[in-house]
Amino acid sequence: MATLANQIENYIKEQLAASKAGSFDIKRSALAEIFMCAPSQINYVLETRFSTSQGYCVESKRGGGGYIRITRLLVNPNNDLHYLVEEAEGKHVSQQIGEGLIDRLVEEEFLTKREGMLLKGLLSHETLRPTLHIQLPQGYELLIDYDLLRGRLLKSMLVTLLREDFE
């Protein structure tokens, strides 16, 4: 799937990989011009693929001489996993965000690739989606909050990672 968003994502990741400091500045308008798209497309890519939970920090400045700075964050086991647990508490997590977090933990070697695959399977809509159909009176609807459940599953995963006896 070579969507525009994916191409831009790859481009940014390449630049990031090539940079010594794990950080990279660029003008939003320049990026938009390279890919011949609307500038707001860049924001879409940053929101969906470079969020904090996915391990990136995005800063920017407007006005003349404005720019976007993307920084790759490294997970610090002692502080960040705890922070992520807090974050996951009661959080709504979409499938996309959940997979992003898992990919990050795999990249940082907190999880093996196998573990990542197992966990991503568990977080999928296909797995979570319910089969039960309950008869309710007219006008009432049954809503299952998959995103909340996903948040709980992720939290459990993080908590296990933090266990002292986890090797």
Give me the least distance between CB of 61 and a copy of itself, in Å please.
8
Instruction: Find the binding residues for DNA in span 8-67 (CB under 7 A).
Output: 27-30, 37-44, 48, 60-67
Residue 151 in 3-state DSSP? helix
Instruction: Find the binding residues for a copy of itself in span 43-82 (CB under 8 A).
Output: 59, 61, 64-67
Instruction: Find the binding residues for DNA in span 80-139 (CB under 7 A).
Output: 94-96, 125, 129
Residue 17 in 3-state DSSP? helix
Contact partners, residue 36, CB within 8 Å, separation at least 6: none
Give me the least distance between CB of 97 and a copy of itself, in Å please.
15
How many residues touch a copy of itself under the rule CB under 8 A: the total is 55
Give me the least distance between CB of 78 and a copy of itself, in Å please.
19
Comparing CB distances to a copy of itself, the nearer of 22 and 90 is 90
Q: How far apart are CA 17 and CA 7, in angstroms?
A: 15
Residue with tokens 């707001």: 40
Full DSSP string of 68-114: EEEEEPPP-TTTHHHHHHHHHTT----HHHHHHHHHHHHHTTSS-HH
Give me the least distance between CB of 27 and DNA, in Å please.
3
Give me the least distance between CB of 160 and a copy of itself, in Å please.
4
Q: Which helix (H) or strand (E) holds 34?
A: helix 28-34
Exposed/middle/buried for residue 127 (C-beta within 10 Å: 0-12, 13-18, 19+) = exposed
Record the tokens describing residue 12, joined without a space: 């940014």
Which of 1, 21, 132, 134 is in the footprint of DNA by CB under 7 A?
1
Instruction: Find the binding residues for a copy of itself in span 133-152 (CB under 8 A).
Output: 133-137, 140-146, 148-149, 152
Residues forming contacts to DNA in the complex (CB under 7 A) are 1, 3-6, 27-30, 37-44, 48, 60-68, 94-96, 125, 129
